[in-house]
């Protein structure tokens, strides 16, 4: 009977609009939820077949809700560098536990409100732990588009301090052309140029009480070269120079901290003398072109461990110290755990390099790489998702690469508690990507994605839903009154 069908249509209207009211209520409640995707209610008519040509039975209405997950909201600035917004497509990959394995449930979210837990793992406001690809000991990242086994929770605390041993130094200085040849310069030059070179006591052993003798030649110029050892200790090499002739300067590189391979103070770098304890690692003669007053590497000489290098060997004006010690590099004292190291000293790459003008001897610039020991200072995350530790000594270390997941149909994901989603047959499989790669969005640091709820739209929907619900209730009361009139016919 059509009156009964009308009542049933009214009932379906009440149910459909109650569903719409529930969706609107949830949207309004989540107006401040990070990256919340609003729930949309779609109505569809239910049609029943008529038993007679001129009769009609109301079928009513059906309501279906869905999250509009693919819609991207704007990013809002925050004051935490661990907050991450996704500027484009993609979802963070998360787990419910920092110890989860590849076989445990992985959830996907755009809520990047990350902080550290008590163990230093990154988790968001819903307690979901951020996953990424770890950086291995070689600084490389092994990514995979589909293998959860390659992912691990990102941990940013308990990162040990770091130190980097110096491996190179660059020098730039002027040696005064007007400097008189040292009193001991001639004898010194004879010792240097002998075949094989003899072993005078070096400039590092200069004794002010017996000046200007071969054994105690006073340096005309000294340049300090700061370097760092393998444990981050701060060390100094000294380059002592003495003028031995026109356009010729002898040099020695030494340090009182240096020992030889047997653990005793290193000997002179001359000939086979490795027992005199002078801490030398290199020596030689620098030659200057009389026309340009610049260092002439092709005619300069270096002596390392008793081996003489000239001409083309020294043509790049780069001295490698350390090979003298049986390949173990420069050895610092007898400190336990300090490794040997080779140090490349470059005389010619800082613009002026070494010059010999008629001006005061002066050191223009000395630079060296390597860093002293430093502790963790801050964590940064790049727009491509690289998590980097910065230490107080200025060194950096990459820790992990944030992974983003994309889907063919993001609207097909199944919502779960915690403002997250899981894979379904409708969404299609996930594809793991580096942020900014192949259509995935870049990360925006210190921002969060806003809720997709528009209050003006929701309140308008609230009004129309209320009126539709009231109208559906009128259908029921009207049909009831008509049935009552039918029953009164019997009277």
Q: Rounded to whole angstroms, how far apart are CA atoms 169 and 369?
A: 7
Task: Give this prediction's pTM.
Answer: 0.64
Q: Please state which of the ranges 52-66, 120-134, 139-153, 378-392 shows the lowest mean pLDDT.
A: 52-66
Confidence band of 206 (pLDDT split at 50, 70, 90): low
The secondary element (H helix, E strand) that includes residue 234 is strand 234-245
Q: Tell me what pLDDT residue 329 has.
A: 60
Q: Tell me what pLDDT residue 365 has.
A: 87
Q: Tell me what pLDDT residue 399 has.
A: 92
Q: How far is CA 331 from CA 200, 281, 389, in A?
A: 22, 10, 30
198 has pLDDT over 90: no
| Omega before residue 161 within 30° of 0, cis | no
Q: What angle do CA 292, 293, 294 make, to 5 degrees?
A: 85
Question: Taking residues 392-406, what's their average pLDDT?
Answer: 89
Of residues 66, 62, 82, 80, the one with CA closest to residue 16: 62
Q: What is the DSSP string of 396-435?
A: EEEEEEE-EEE-S-GGGSEEETTTEEE--TTT---EEE-T
Question: How far is C-alpha 467 from the geometric centre of its chain's CA atoms?
Answer: 56
Confidence band of 1 (pLDDT split at 50, 70, 90): low
Domains present along the chain, CATH in parentheses: 2-68+453-488 (no CATH), 75-158+376-449 (no CATH), 163-374 (2.60.98.20)
Phi, psi values for residue 296, rounded to 5° = -110, 90
> 479-488, pLDDT tens digit by residue?
888 888 888 8
Average pLDDT, the chain: 82
> 356-393, pLDDT tens digit by residue?
999 999 988 888 888 777 788 889 999 999 999 888 87
Question: Taking residues 397-413, what's their average pLDDT?
Answer: 94
Q: Rounded to whole angstroms, how far apart are CA atoms 16 and 10?
A: 10
> 62-71, pLDDT tens digit by residue?
899 888 999 9
For CA atoms 191, 192, 198, 201, give the dihedral sign: positive
Q: What is the DSSP string of 71-93?
A: --PPEEE-S-TTBEEEESB-EEE
For CA atoms 241, 244, 250, 252, give the dihedral sign: negative
Q: Residue 229 class from Cβ within 10 Å (0-12 exposed, 13-18 middle, 19+ buried)? A: buried
> 264-320, pLDDT tens digit by residue?
444 444 333 344 446 777 777 888 988 888 888 778 887 766 667 776 666 666 666
C-beta atoms surrounding 177 within 10 Å: 17
Q: Rounded to whole angstroms, how far apart are CA atoms 421 and 345?
A: 57
Confidence band of 403 (pLDDT split at 50, 70, 90): very high
448 has pLDDT over 90: yes
Contact call for residues 79 and 99 (beta carbons, < 8 A):
no
Contact call for residues 192 and 282 (beta carbons, < 8 A):
no
> 11-38, pLDDT tens digit by residue?
888 999 999 999 999 999 999 999 999 9
Residue carrying the six token digits 């008590």: 118
Confidence band of 188 (pLDDT split at 50, 70, 90): confident
Q: Rounded to whole angstroms, how far apart are CA atoms 4 and 149?
A: 60
Phi, psi values for residue 216, rounded to 5° = -135, 55
Any idea of the CA torsion for 454, 455, 457, 460, to the nearest 10 degrees?
A: 170
321 has pLDDT over 60: yes
Q: Tell me what pLDDT residue 275 has.
A: 42
Q: Tell me what pLDDT residue 487 has.
A: 82
Q: Rounded to whole angstroms, how far apart are CA atoms 275 and 50?
A: 114
The secondary element (H helix, E strand) that includes residue 26 is helix 2-29
Token representation of residue 45: 């008519």
Contact call for residues 347 and 174 (beta carbons, < 8 A):
no
| Gyration radius (Cα) of the chain, Å | 40
Pairing of strands 152-153, 343-346: unpaired
């Amino acid at each position: 009977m059509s009156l009964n069908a009308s009542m049933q249509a009214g009932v379906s209207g009440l149910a459909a609009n109650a569903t719409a009211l529930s969706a609107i209520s949830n949207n309004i409640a989540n107006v401040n939820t990070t990256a919340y995707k609003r729930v949309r209610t779609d109505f569809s008519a239910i049609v029943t077949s008529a038993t007679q040509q001129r009769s009609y039975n109301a079928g009513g209405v059906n309501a279906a809700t869905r999250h509009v997950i693919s819609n991207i909201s704007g990013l809002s600035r925050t004051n935490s560098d661990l907050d991450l917004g996704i500027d484009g497509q993609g979802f963070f990959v998360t787990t419910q536990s920092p110890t989860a394995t590849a076989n445990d449930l992985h959830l996907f979210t755009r809520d990047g409100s990350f902080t550290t837990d008590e163990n230093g793992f990154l988790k968001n406001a819903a307690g979901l732990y951020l996953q990424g690809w770890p950086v291995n000991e070689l600084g490389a990242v092994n990514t995979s588009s589909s293998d959860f086994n390659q992912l691990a929770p990102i941990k940013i605390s308990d990162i040990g301090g770091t130190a980097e041993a110096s491996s190179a130094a660059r020098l730039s200085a002027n040696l005064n052309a007007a400097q008189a040849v040292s009193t001991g310069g001639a004898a010194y030059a004879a010792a240097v140029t002998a075949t094989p070179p003899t072993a005078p006591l070096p400039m590092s052993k200069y004794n002010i009480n017996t000046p200007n003798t071969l054994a105690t030649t006073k340096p005309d110029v000294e340049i300090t070269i700061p370097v760092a050892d393998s444990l981050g200790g701060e060390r100094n090499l000294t380059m002592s120079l003495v003028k031995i002739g026109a356009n010729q300067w002898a040099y020695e590189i030494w340090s009182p901290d240096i020992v030889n391979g047997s653990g005793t103070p290193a000997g002179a770098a001359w000939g086979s003398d490795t027992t005199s304890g002078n801490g030398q690692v290199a020596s030689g003669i620098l030659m200057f072109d009389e026309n340009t007053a610049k260092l002439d590497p092709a005619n300069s000489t270096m002596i390392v461990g008793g081996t003489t290098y000239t001409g083309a060997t020294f043509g790049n004006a780069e001295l490698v110290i350390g090979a003298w010690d049986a390949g173990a590099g420069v050895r610092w004292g007898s400190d336990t755990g300090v490794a040997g190291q080779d140090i490349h000293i470059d005389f010619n790459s800082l613009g002026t390099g070494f010059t010999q003008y008629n001006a005061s001897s002066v050191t223009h610039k000395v630079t060296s790489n390597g860093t002293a020991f430093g502790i963790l200072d801050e964590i940064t995350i790049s727009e491509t998702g690289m998590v980097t530790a910065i230490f107080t000594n200025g060194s950096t270390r990459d820790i992990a690469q944030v992974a983003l997941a994309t889907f063919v149909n993001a609207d097909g994901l199944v919502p779960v508690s915690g403002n997250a989603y899981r894979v379904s047959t409708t969404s299609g499989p996930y594809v793991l990507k580096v942020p900014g790669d192949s259509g995935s969005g870049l990360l925006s640091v210190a921002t969060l994605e806003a809720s997709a709820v528009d209050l003006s739209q929701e309140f308008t929907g609230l009004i129309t839903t209320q009126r539709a619900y009231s109208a559906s209730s009128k259908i029921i009361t009207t049909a009831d009154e008509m049935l009552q009139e039918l029953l009164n016919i019997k009277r």
